[in-house]
Structure 1
Amino acid sequence: MSLLREIQKAVLSDDAELSRILLKVRLLASRLGSEPLEDWVKYETEGYPSDADVPDYRVISVTYRGTWSGPFGSGIQNAPIPSYLIEKHASKVWTHRKVRESIASVEELARTKDGILSIDASNLILLLQGKVYEDWACNGVTGTLSSVAMREIVQSVRSRILELTIELEKRVPQAVEVTLDNPVSLKPEGEAAVTQIYNQTVYGNVTHVHAAQVNLSITAGDWDSMVGALVDAGLPKDAAKEFAEIIVDEKPESVEKPLGKKALAWLKKNTPKAASGAWKIGSDVLTKVATEAALQYSGLK
């Protein structure tokens, strides 16, 4: 059975642990030459480091309750604190938590019987003094997460894995041929298609990925024409210049490997911006545009 079929079978099973499924996805990503997809799987299985962006499905809401003491021995116990006040006097970081734990930890948290997960919110005590109930002392703040939100993360990852394999099957037929004993070598456009599918399924809505036609006109060795073409394709001017400088500094090795480590790192950092709609270019074509620009500037195409 092909590796892709094994993943599909496992993700549809109620018994298979998601962490084990992701290991197979990571191997498939490696065989298909998609470093961004590999990184996503690595982060999901090992946890997201503090300097890595987390996908939107891993940002969940936090609710807070507090205890206050007032004059003459009066007090307020376990009172809900409006999110508006938390964001106003602390920041939105407190009300929207980025879940960086590994998917195995998320799965375990999702099994919490009472449905409530507590987090350390002691730092909010000082930030909220006198700002919720005037002249009342804040003695304690408790933050809670819902285990339902954890289950939604698990389900989101499962949905994205399934959608990923479905789109690979449609757009990159060679992916179905990958087995443990039969690695498949994709052409650059095939590797770009894999990364495009990853960008759309992980950072965008889980919808069908449409192939995009990329038409650039870059004179070999002409930095200005490369920047202009990238801007015309939808990149912000600053981003276009940044990428162009990388291509000038890190010339492509060959037609098969037009993007070096710095270029791939740039794509990894900026793909979420394209996926969010902040750029005029979609995440599904960003990799293809970058690859085409590198090839044309270097005279390889």
Structure 2
Amino acid sequence: MSILREIQTAILQENPNLGTILLKLRFLASRLGSEPLADWVKYEAEGYRKDADVPDYRVAGLSFRGSWSGPFGSGINNAPIPTALVAKHASKEWTQYKFRESIATVQDMAASGKTMGINASNLILLLQGKVYEDWACNSIIAEMSPIAIQEIVQTVRARILELTIELEKRVPDAVEVTLQQVISSETPETAAAVTQIFNQTVYGNVTHVTATDGAQVTLAITAGDTVSMVSELAKAGLPDDAAKEITDIVALEKPQSEDKPLGPKALEWIKKNAPKAASGAWKIGSAVATDLLKEAALKYYGLK
């Protein structure tokens, strides 16, 4: 049986072992040559480093309760604290928890069905006098619903299945990979196709453009939204005026096809400005800029 079929069989079990499944997916990713997929699998299997970005599905909201003491021995115990107050007087970061643990650990936590508590002792100082004026805050508890943890497991499971289904449909070679047999047609085109499928199924609207030197540029553009396109192109290395200029052109033209989303005016603009990118005047090379603008147009037109 191929590795892809083994993954599909295992992921459809009632209580799949996601840690083992990810190891098989990591093997498949290495055979297909997709580094972004391999990196994601590694993070999910081993946990996310502190300096690594955590996917949105691994961010869960927190709820807060606290205890206060007042005059004449009065007190308030286990009273809910609005998250809006926490965000206002502490920061929005306090209202969310980023799961960096391995998926095996998250799966164990989900299976326990217990509410997860987060150390929120620093909030005592930050919220002192902000919730109940003239009352002393003694303790604050931050908690996460077990349903939120279970949702992480379900999301990873669903995206692995969706990924293998898309690989089966669009990259036929993926079905041929076994422990004994390495596909002979592994090419940059295959790796690019696998990476595209991975980006679409795992990260959704976020697109990653891989440069020739291996660097990656991430685009998060909302279809039909010129503001997000200008912002993302500027973040990627285009000067602000250039980002706005090409965005206006793309907004006025219609896509020719998914393979050729850029219209004649956009292509002419790229040709005209290519020397600026090649000279180093922009923070992005000319070859990468073309791929970047193509991906940006696809996102803007809602084709990806």
SS class of match (2:117): strand
Q: Is the 8 A contact 1:125 1:140 kept in 2?
A: yes
Taking the aligned partners of 1:40 and 1:3, their CA distance within structure 2 comes to: 18
Deviation of 1:153 (Å):
0.5
Say if 1:173 and 1:226 are closer, same or farther in 2 by CA, change over 3 A: farther
Partners of 2:297 and 2:89 in 1: CA distance:
35
Q: Name the SS of the counterpart of 2:80 in structure 1.
A: strand
* Other-structure match for 1:120: 119
Q: Give the secondary-structure state (helix, strand or coil) at the position aligned to 1:191.
A: helix
Q: Secondary structure at the match of 1:85?
A: helix
TM superposition outliers: structure 1 runs of 4+ over 3 Å: 214-218, 226-229, 240-243, 245-248, 279-283
Tell me: CA distance 1:282–1:189, structure 2 relative to 1, closer, same or farther (3 Å).
farther
Alignment equivalent of 1:212, drawn from 250, 258, 270: 258
Q: How many residues are matched?
A: 241
Aligned to 2:5: 5
Alignment of 1:100-111 (within 5 A): 100-111=100-111
Is 1:242 matched with 2:263? Answer: no
- 1:41 is matched with which residue? 41
How do 1:22-37 residues align onto structure 2 when only pairs under 5 Å count?
22-37=22-37
Change (3 A) 1:12 1:50: same
1:95 corresponds in structure 2 to: 95
Structure 2 counterpart SS, 1:151: helix
Secondary structure of the corresponding residue to residue 111 of structure 1: helix
Q: Indicate conservation of the 8 Å contact 2:45/2:103, yes or no.
A: yes
Q: 1:162 matched to which residue of 2? A: 161
Change (3 A) 1:12 1:215: same
CA contact (8 A) 1:223 1:244 kept: no
Whether the 8 Å contact between 1:226 and 1:244 is mirrored in structure 2 is no
Please list, as runs of the form range in 1=range in 2, the aligned pairs for 1:187-266 lying within 5 A after superposition.
Answer: 187-204=187-204, 212-214=258-260, 224-225=273-274, 241-244=282-285
Measure how far apart 1:30 and its partner are: 0.6
**Post-superposition CA distance 1:78-133 (Å, at most 9, x none):** 000001001001111111211111001101111224x3111100010000000000
AA aligned to 1:188 is P
- Matches of 2:29 and 2:275 in 1, distance apart? 30
Is the 2:65–2:78 Cα contact (8 Å) retained in structure 1? yes
For structure 2, the 5+ residue unaligned runs are 206-256
Matches within 5 A, 1:16-27: 16-27=16-27
Once the two structures are superposed, the pairs formed by residues 64-79 of structure 1 within 5 Å of their partners are 64-79=64-79
Tell me which moved more, 186-195 or 70-79.
Answer: 186-195
Change (3 A) 1:24 1:91: same
1:230-283 CA deviation, whole Å, 9 max, x = no partner? xxxxxxxx9x943318969xxxxxxxxxxxxxxxxxx9xx9xxx8xxxx65539
> Quick one: which amino acid aligns to residue 282 of structure 1?
K
C-alpha distance in structure 1 between counterparts of 2:297 and 2:83, whole Å? 33
Task: Letter of the 1:212 partner, please give it.
Answer: E
* Structure 1 CA distance for aligned equivalents of residues 124 and 152 of structure 2: 29
Go from structure 1 to structure 2 and tell me whether the alpha carbon gap of 1:280 and 1:54 turns closer, same or farther (over 3 Å shift): farther
1:182 is matched with which residue?
181
CA gap 1:67/1:171 in 2 versus in 1, 3 angstroms: same
Q: CA 1:245–1:96 in structure 2 vs 1: closer, same or farther (change >3 Å)?
A: farther
Q: Which runs of 5+ in 1 are unaligned?
A: 206-210, 230-237, 249-266, 287-301
CA deviation after TM superposition for structure 1 residue 15, in Å: 3.8
Q: What is the TM-score normalised by the length of structure 1?
A: 0.72
Cα RMSD, aligned residues only: 3.2
Partner SS for 1:242:
coil
Deviations 1:270-298 (A, max 9, x none): 9xxx8xxxx65539x99xxxxxxxxxxxx
CA contact (8 A) 1:58 1:98 kept: yes
Deviations 1:30-81 (A, max 9, x none): 1000000000000001111111111111111100000011111111000000
Q: What is the TM-score with the length of structure 2 in the denominator?
A: 0.72
Matching of residue 148 in structure 1 with residue 151 in structure 2 = no
Measured in 1, the distance between the counterparts of 2:88 and 2:168 equals: 48
Pair 223,147 (structure 1): closer, same or farther in 2 beyond 3 Å: farther
Aligned partners of 2:171 and 2:193 also within 8 Å: yes
Task: Indicate conservation of the 8 Å contact 1:29/1:38, yes or no.
Answer: yes
